[in-house]
Structure 1
């Protein structure tokens, strides 16, 4: 059964929030019957004691055990493994001390004193015994780990069996009769638990301890209600007074509101638990029930806290997500209703878990949980739809707009499972939906808060960033880079943690996953031979798709966010993004091959075939590929340069692996192989920030006042905004010919691409001013034909040039 799924997963949500609650919540309680209470840190159990504990755990494991008992036994086995590892570490230290003492004594000498010989023999015997203990402890640690893995497989098989088993649906009377009329054995177990609980409360309300228990109860209520509201009011005042206006104020208040709700409720329940346990001697079943109910309260507190933090009904203007006020008001009561429903039905679930009730009753309670949660979510979806229709609100764009659709489909699958009788499947989907919702909302809240902190404290656009930069002497460019980079790293880390928690394997908790990652030794594993299984293929496909998506996101982030904050030009940024993409593809290929267990030595035949192909037909492709890498590293040309190559002149738009794309003046694109940029002469017009020269030559009549013309040309160039003042424009008297005066003027612009437009503007201006001054350009030489009609006939006419 999945009674303990929420118990273990809500611990992961606490780890995601980076906050610690009551220490009692840190680990699930071990099985009382397994006798696995851990010894103090300074007193370690012996291998014999650990072996006895492991044998007791094995005796409790059976297919008839429920999921909660198996989960407790697995935790007990892992605790034995941790104790064995600690003992092994202590034995390693003792072994080091013995080796040091033996090294000090040295080798045996013929004439050494008998005391040294006796001491050396004693140390050698101790070392031999310690070596034997190390071997036994290592085997014990391995056995405990294997037992924990076996228990996990038993739990998964039990879950798979229950998921595939059909039961009575909520539409049948058998389903409700299992709840209303449990079996005699269940009634007997419930009666025994009720007697234990009644005895605990009778002891707590006894005359000697009644006042203390009532005082603890009142204090718990004050913490739950009064302290929470007081803290929230103080938080609002603190945000307004101490935090600058902006998103950081809103995100901090939202995070503080959620944490306040969770921590105050957790503190109240912990105080109440202490009041019950300290004044009575509850049985093991009652203690187990109290622990499970307290964990359930913590999970429900997360639901209420996240709902209040994201909806912000008391302060709508401070709401982080873009939820319209009518929609937020319509669903504002749902988190509290959902938490109360889970609290009521979840308590019944935990009672069944404690007393190990019959399978029929447990499955029926699970189905009831799934049914109630589904109906509450359906009610919320209907309220949202009606509100949007009544007020004609637009649907939210992007992935956020798909959340109602995904939720509706998921709830529809749960209801379909309930109606068809697959109650356990519906329950598992319900718990998974609640868990994903909490992890997603918490990750969104933490990500927003972290990004807002980076933006406020580091960005040069904010007052806090400006003050920090002035204090540390940082440039605005470096501050912007640090803010973008730190925000990206934090967002990535939180997203990875959220994904790990969402897709956590069945029966695991975050602490176990962290311990597994710590024990993972990737470097000692080889790629292996060509041994591919379907699971590896599926994992490789997932890794390939995820890797390609990650590379695309990384390239977009570099090109759009980080690199624009640097002083790199556009060409350098494009080259760097392309190189990062190539490196990512190579690493992704290696990772996919490793996942498929393909050794690089198995690819020798592929390399041989490629070498033959290169020798015959792939030489040009390889040459272009190597040339592309040279272009990206040496950067003789880069994206954005204006180049001229073998009659092709235009702007470089993209440098690919094999060829470079050049855009011509007519907007057409020419694909040029990369090798031509290496083997041929290339004219890079814009390399080194080359300036453009705007030159105009005029032919004027011989009687023109050249001084006035020079002033006119200099004034026209000086008045144009694109002409640079340094180097200054110049006017040159080039020549004096029969056709007239040749006067040339030239000036510089910031780019060769601007020459054409600036020259056109200047020609318009100069010709207009010449016409105003009455100065005409010198006319070209003409040819006239003259006929001599006196002595020559028409057939004998001769041309004359004037």
Structure 2
């Protein structure tokens, strides 16, 4: 364990030393005229910058248009798209300001009122001036709206250009890593690439000399030492402090473990990011940098943060120093074997990713860019490949069983994905392999982060809100909440929070290449819903694939939602089982309708395009589907009005049993012999139905005895009450009762009545009571009256014999 920790420390130290060498080496000096504003902005506090005017925005948009060319690389197009979106945002802000100014002018004109025949010349001139200002603002607002739309269209065009560039590259076949041409592109770049790299090398020398100048040498050395201290010492101190605080403040359980994992990951990311930020500040403060160098530093810092995020996730999930705090169920042997994977992967990404950022800044040739991307794909794929091999060997060596469920499918999915990436790479489709490898890495990071956040959020809700936990009990007593309502609130909050986190994780995992989460959120807020009909179906293969994906994910989501309602939320309420089942079924129907609506919207199918289908269905309903539609409507009535519900004991047309399920067409009734009868729903609406358990869930057990006239009725009354009271199925409330029903020539008729918790328990309780009562009557020597009947005997002479008592 200590050896693994030492190796991780050496890997992190090597990465920091590489960063210290790389950042100053690739900084580029700028000409003096361009650097002066940059240096001035980094000195004293700059004055407040005024909002750009309409002319400034037009000029910025023109400059962006001039830079958009077919030969531009993807990184340049991405920055130009961000610039266009920024212009659009500033134009929208200017439009809002102009609208406020126009409203103020309207208020002033309303105060002046209409033109009067004898008004003062001052009012007339003031009205003319305000009207002129208003007209000018209205004209500017119109132009600004046009500018905003132009910026939006330009951003859309750039995105389409990037997509077409990506499509053309992903289908292009080049030299594979098995050929010498691939490696010669990396080792021997073109003359143009060499010239640009030599220019960077010259800038590196000037920046390096500037950073190590006598006046800046001590400051730069202090910055490097400070970054090392933050990376090594502060990270350990912060992690130790957070662990102590978690152990002291949080109760023992899952919340402590999830909080510790989150604290370990955050401490790693924060300290590494702080160290690199300090190092960047030291470089910027000791040298004059151009915009390209600033762009390179920003990209490198983003890369370092991402690599630190990978290391932090690995340490948070594996928890090698503290295996008992490990949140996921990973055996110690596998965790130890996979301990080196995150830091080595981060270090490889740091080395190769730095070259990618350099190619982006110097605008290298397409051949060199594709070759470096192929090298990145090769490194990432091999890292995942060796990780899978190490996982498999460790599992076989220690005879560890394969995990079940979704966790058991993860290695298989990753293996297939890595196999496709390597196959594309060896076939020469480097851009496709790069896309698959980077997407696999990104989805792994998003999935791991989502697991940590979902676990932490669920544990917080369970610990602080659940009435079964000390924190929840204290909160409930402080706020005066009932345990049932508190459990419902905890379940709903945990479910909604986890759903939002999972939705965000899915959106981020399948984020289009080159887009940011902010752009995705902005695109959702700008969705427009119109009532325009397409008039004809226009379905393309991509829409069909998207519709299939929406259908599968939607049905899976509806199933998960039904299980969550049926197993988590509704059991916390005071609803009976029948109401819970009906509500879950209704949720399933509503979810299915919404999924179908989303699929139709994805396929661009309007309801007006389905008029011929509705017409055909109407004819079919008139002939053969009438009974099906009738049963469907009856099923909806049963679920909403609930004359019968799941769990009721009903009797219908000779069928008597318990309702087990109400489907969309028929209802399943389980008989006493455990057989199931399928009854159409329309029969529950059109026929007489006897619902035994609807009005009263209790069952009545009744016994009637016919005793001789000389029997002591008080003694019999005590005997029956004692028998009913002693039986465990008979309820105390309502209490059993004994009634003297009648006095006939055959004897005394005495009836006893008791209640059980369900009509289904009546038969068994009545049988037990009869055994008990008849046994005690026999012990007391009391016999029941024999029933009397008249028997006619024919002796052949037609004479009637006197009646004889039948025994």
1:386 and 1:590 map into 2 onto residues whose CA distance is: 48
CA contact (8 A) 1:692 1:751 kept: yes
Match of 2:635 among 625, 628, 634: 628
Quote the offset at 1:763 in angstroms.
2.4
CA contact (8 A) 2:231 2:272 kept: yes
State how 1:579-598 maps to structure 2 within 5 Å.
579-598=586-605
Alpha carbons of 1:441 and 1:525: their partners in 2 closer, same or farther (altered >3 Å)?
Answer: farther
Other structure's SS at 2:515 match: coil
Match of 2:67 among 41, 60, 65: 60
CA contact (8 A) 2:243 2:263 kept: no
Quote the offset at 1:670 in angstroms.
2.5
Matched, 1:174 2:159: no
Quote the offset at 1:706 in angstroms.
4.6
Other structure's SS at 1:654 match: strand
2:111 and 2:661 map into 1 onto residues whose CA distance is: 70
2:792 and 2:693 map into 1 onto residues whose CA distance is: 52
CA contact (8 A) 2:539 2:604 kept: no
Matched, 1:458 2:496: no
2:685 and 2:268 map into 1 onto residues whose CA distance is: 66
Quote the offset at 1:738 in angstroms.
6.4
Deviation string, structure 1 residues 9-58 (Cα, Å, up to 9, x no partner)? xxxxxxxxxxxxxxxxxxxxxxx999999999862222222222222222
Quote the offset at 1:671 in angstroms.
2.8
RMSD: 3.1
Deviation string, structure 1 residues 605-641 (Cα, Å, up to 9, x no partner)? 5555555555555554444333333322222221111
**Aligned counterpart, 1:533:** 539
Match of 1:558 among 554, 559, 565: 565
Count residues in correspondence: 767
Alpha carbons of 1:546 and 1:743: their partners in 2 closer, same or farther (altered >3 Å)?
Answer: same
Matched, 1:262 2:263: no
Alpha carbons of 1:585 and 1:414: their partners in 2 closer, same or farther (altered >3 Å)?
Answer: closer
CA contact (8 A) 1:193 1:286 kept: no
State how 1:513-524 maps to structure 2 within 5 Å.
513-522=520-529, 524=530
**Aligned counterpart, 1:502:** 509
Matched, 1:207 2:214: yes
**Aligned counterpart, 2:659:** 652
Match of 2:393 among 386, 396, 399: 386
Alpha carbons of 1:348 and 1:586: their partners in 2 closer, same or farther (altered >3 Å)?
Answer: closer
1:97 and 1:706 map into 2 onto residues whose CA distance is: 99
Matched, 1:155 2:162: yes
Matched, 1:51 2:58: yes
Give ranges in structure 2 of 5+ residues lacking alignment. 1-30
**Aligned counterpart, 1:134:** 141
CA contact (8 A) 2:443 2:509 kept: yes
Quote the offset at 1:799 in angstroms.
11
2:576 and 2:387 map into 1 onto residues whose CA distance is: 52
**Aligned counterpart, 2:402:** 395
Give ranges in structure 1 of 5+ residues lacking alignment. 1-31
Alpha carbons of 1:638 and 1:40: their partners in 2 closer, same or farther (altered >3 Å)?
Answer: farther
State how 1:166-315 maps to structure 2 within 5 Å.
166-315=173-322
Quote the offset at 1:777 in angstroms.
4.7
Other structure's SS at 1:304 match: helix
Other structure's SS at 1:258 match: helix
1:599 and 1:413 map into 2 onto residues whose CA distance is: 38
Moved more, 578-587 or 554-563: 578-587
Matched, 1:640 2:661: no
Quote the offset at 1:276 in angstroms.
0.7
Alpha carbons of 1:688 and 1:785: their partners in 2 closer, same or farther (altered >3 Å)?
Answer: closer
Quote the offset at 1:704 in angstroms.
5.2
Other structure's SS at 1:745 match: strand
Deviation string, structure 1 residues 530-586 (Cα, Å, up to 9, x no partner)? 333224444444333333332222222111111111001111112222222333334
1:288 and 1:599 map into 2 onto residues whose CA distance is: 47
Quote the offset at 1:425 in angstroms.
1.4
Quote the offset at 1:75 in angstroms.
1.4
State how 1:758-769 maps to structure 2 within 5 Å.
758-769=765-776
CA contact (8 A) 1:527 1:594 kept: no
Other structure's SS at 1:152 match: helix
CA contact (8 A) 1:209 1:279 kept: yes
Matched, 1:87 2:98: no
CA contact (8 A) 2:666 2:679 kept: yes
Deviation string, structure 1 residues 411-437 (Cα, Å, up to 9, x no partner)? 111111121111221111111111000
1:80 and 1:679 map into 2 onto residues whose CA distance is: 67
Moved more, 265-274 or 627-636: 627-636
1:73 and 1:406 map into 2 onto residues whose CA distance is: 36
CA contact (8 A) 1:529 1:598 kept: no
1:239 and 1:333 map into 2 onto residues whose CA distance is: 26
Other structure's SS at 2:133 match: helix
CA contact (8 A) 2:706 2:748 kept: yes
CA contact (8 A) 2:34 2:290 kept: no
2:547 and 2:439 map into 1 onto residues whose CA distance is: 25
Structure 1 length as normaliser, TM-score? 0.89
Alpha carbons of 1:782 and 1:525: their partners in 2 closer, same or farther (altered >3 Å)?
Answer: closer
Quote the offset at 1:94 in angstroms.
1.7
**Aligned counterpart, 1:29:** none
Deviation string, structure 1 residues 160-211 (Cα, Å, up to 9, x no partner)? 2222222222222222222222233222221211221222122111111111
Other structure's SS at 1:251 match: helix
Alpha carbons of 1:605 and 1:797: their partners in 2 closer, same or farther (altered >3 Å)?
Answer: closer
2:47 and 2:601 map into 1 onto residues whose CA distance is: 43
Match of 2:680 among 673, 683, 687: 673
2:502 and 2:266 map into 1 onto residues whose CA distance is: 20
1:618 and 1:422 map into 2 onto residues whose CA distance is: 54
CA contact (8 A) 2:537 2:605 kept: yes
Quote the offset at 1:136 in angstroms.
1.7
CA contact (8 A) 2:537 2:609 kept: no
2:292 and 2:732 map into 1 onto residues whose CA distance is: 91
Moved more, 582-591 or 411-420: 582-591
Structure 2 length as normaliser, TM-score? 0.89
Deviation string, structure 1 residues 759-802 (Cα, Å, up to 9, x no partner)? 122223233334444555556669999999xxx99xx9999946
State how 1:573-612 maps to structure 2 within 5 Å.
573-611=580-618
CA contact (8 A) 1:196 1:283 kept: no
Quote the offset at 1:734 in angstroms.
4.4
**Aligned counterpart, 1:11:** none
